Structure 1
Amino acid sequence: MPDCESVDALAAQVRRDGFAFAEGAAVDAILGAAGGLDDWDVFAESWDHLDPDQYLAATGRYRRRRHAVFDLGAALDSSAAPHRLPDQPHFQTLAHNPLQGGLARWFTPMTDTAVGTRAFQTLMGFGRKVFARLDSAAATGSWRVEAHQFRIEAKPDHAGEPTPEGMHRDGVDYVLVVLVERRNIECGTTSIHAPDGTELGSFTLTRLRDVALVDDQRVLHGVTAVTPRDPSKLAHRDVLVLTYCRGT
């Protein structure tokens, strides 16, 4: 399927439903045409070097992350690397994150190696292509993109919480979630809800590069806790989350 048709189909689903889920095999066809994944192993290996999320207090040791912020121009076919902005805190209001809102949270920055991979830049461009098709302002303006590397660790005596704040919005325009790895994990189902609480759909990211695309202005999302399939072995869920805000 041609790149533009695949991207258009995903954008149409987000426009209709407020979200879309796509399996990794379909996504890989788009990403291969959009820039490639030849250094995916280098990108994925960077999840082994994340630092604990200190803002989760007693449970912080079960979530690891890194963070970076970028400015993307409007040109959809630009081959230029995204412009990385100076390291800065991640901030959400209490309305969007009742658990940790109102805090300027500083996380360990993403490494230059991870950011410089073709795989990462292709994923960022993929999100821009989909979301830019949703309205004229998104198509012609620049984007502020926050990148979050998450590793949720599950222990025999403690389930991992991908979204400890529960059903929520991120306080942005659009969200792209990409599965990087599931190791020895059960559950982790994403559900999408309307503002009145009505469930609109659910799915589980289980395959490499399965993705979720969300219109954060229209719907809420949350992910169920993850547990080890085999309690005697290490268990974790690795995802890349990219949030997109329209610029001017």
Structure 2
Amino acid sequence: MHDSTFSDVMSEVLEIREQYVRDRSVFVEGARMVRILRALGATDEDLEKIRLVSDNLSPDPTLPFRESKNGRFCFDFDRSAAYRLESQPFALSAEEDFVRHDSGQTRVFEEIGDDLQGNTAFQALLAFKSLVFREVPTAPRPKLDYGNPSWICTVFNLRTISTPDLVGEPALEGVHSDGVDHTMTTFLGCTNMTDDSAVTFLHDMREKNATRWNETDPELVLGQCRHRHFLDTLIVVDHERKHSLSPVSAVDERQPATRDMLIFFTRKPVLEGHISHPYDSLKAHDRLPMVIGLPSPAARGELVGAGGPVAGGTARWA
């Protein structure tokens, strides 16, 4: 990759970051993401491979209409690196604005393997997210250690499946937050899914948790978007915007419909008293090691956010 192209893409990433700082969310179309990820090291071969990585998922521990895997990674900006963390159980509570039948339960997911973490497109997605959220000021969450220089990124590879007997819900919990500082969602593909499926709605924090997507207060809807093209990506300041999603519907109702996503939950390590405190190790994975370098713009000052949280108006992305 020529330096000029890399420089152009870094300028583009900074523009995306500026929109994220201003609006507290940003939707990046897939074609734009492909260009950015190539500049960050993704090969054409791996871009094709990542489309199919969800074919190797496992049954979800609590949701019958979903297949899943997860893995934990650490953003270590002091070393300009990201590395794989050891496997830990996962918990998300009502206290973190997540109200569902399995809230507060300790869930154990099958682990992401080298087919995903060794993929240069996936590694470029980690690098891209690090560039966008780094040093962005956000509303702090309770019981997170903002004095710790490390960031924990829990990645979920998910396939939501609708069948003639079961409705696939990308967000069965209704209106919610993800218990983190920055959430990024990236679309990998779908089969037999209608054009009006899986719309994401962004809500003011005053919206009541667990409200279904179609029963929310229109006055509290701040925007909506739909992941429909390969690598369409949404990034949200999670403690300043709640969200909900509509179900996955099938074009041919006699056949399954699927929707494949990567979800990147990024937050500071937790403090004692947080539900995830027993499951928040910063120890590197001994069986599935991975370390990648993280890029940064030449002018470090460009990374500094302009001010604190900004109240956003209504936005709509095609």
Q: CA deviation at 1:42?
A: 2.7
Q: How far apart, CA to CA, are the structure 2 residues paired with 1:29 and 1:44? A: 16
Whether 1:222 and 2:244 are equivalent positions in the alignment is yes
Aligned residue among 70, 78, 81 for 1:67 = 70
Do 2:163 and 2:254's aligned partners in 1 also have CA atoms closer than 8 Å? Answer: no
List structure 1 segments (4+ residues) > 3 angstroms apart after TM superposition: 135-138
Do 1:64 and 1:152's aligned partners in 2 also have CA atoms closer than 8 Å? Answer: yes
Aligned residue among 16, 35, 42 for 1:10 = 16
Task: State the match for 1:127 in structure 2.
Answer: 129
Do 1:143 and 1:245's aligned partners in 2 also have CA atoms closer than 8 Å? Answer: yes
Which amino acid in 1 is paired with 2:50?
F
Q: CA deviation at 1:65?
A: 0.4
Q: CA deviation at 1:154?
A: 1.2
- Where in structure 2 are the equivalents of 1:21-170 lying within 5 Å? 21-38=27-44, 39-56=46-63, 60=64, 62-74=65-77, 78=80, 82-95=82-95, 96-99=97-100, 100-135=102-137, 141-170=149-178
Whether 1:199 and 2:200 are equivalent positions in the alignment is no
Q: How far apart, CA to CA, are the structure 1 residues paired with 2:32 and 2:244? A: 23
Q: How far apart, CA to CA, are the structure 2 residues paired with 1:34 and 1:206? A: 23
Q: Give the 3-state SS of the residue equivalent to 2:51 in structure 1.
A: helix
Deviations 1:116-166 (CA, angstroms, capped at 9, x unpaired):
11111111111111001524999x933211000000001134321000111
Q: How far apart, CA to CA, are the structure 2 residues paired with 1:171 and 1:25? A: 29
Q: How far apart, CA to CA, are the structure 2 residues paired with 1:158 and 1:227? A: 10
Q: How far apart, CA to CA, are the structure 2 residues paired with 1:222 and 1:125? A: 26
Q: What RMSD over aligned residues (CA atoms) do the two structures have, in Å?
A: 2.2
Q: CA deviation at 1:48?
A: 0.7
Q: How far apart, CA to CA, are the structure 1 residues paired with 2:55 and 2:157? A: 11
Structure 2, unaligned stretches of length 5 or more? 139-144, 208-219, 271-318
Deviations 1:39-85 (CA, angstroms, capped at 9, x unpaired):
123333221111111213xxx1x101001001121169x4x5x3211
Aligned residue among 253, 256, 262 for 1:231 = 253
Q: How far apart, CA to CA, are the structure 2 residues paired with 1:113 and 1:208? A: 18
Do 2:164 and 2:255's aligned partners in 1 also have CA atoms closer than 8 Å? Answer: no
Max Rg structure? 2
Q: How far apart, CA to CA, are the structure 2 residues paired with 1:112 and 1:221? A: 31
Q: CA deviation at 1:213?
A: 0.3
Q: CA deviation at 1:8?
A: 1.8
Do 2:50 and 2:188's aligned partners in 1 also have CA atoms closer than 8 Å? Answer: no
- Distance of aligned partners of 1:74 and 1:209 in 2 relative to their CA distance in 1, 3 Å threshold: same
> TM-score, normalised to structure 1's length?
0.89
Which amino acid in 2 is paired with 1:168?
H
Q: Give the 3-state SS of the residue equivalent to 2:179 in structure 1.
A: coil
Which amino acid in 1 is paired with 2:34?
D
Task: State the match for 1:188 in structure 2.
Answer: 198
Which amino acid in 2 is paired with 1:97?
F
Q: CA deviation at 1:247?
A: 5.4
Structure 1, unaligned stretches of length 5 or more? none
- Distance of aligned partners of 1:227 and 1:234 in 2 relative to their CA distance in 1, 3 Å threshold: same
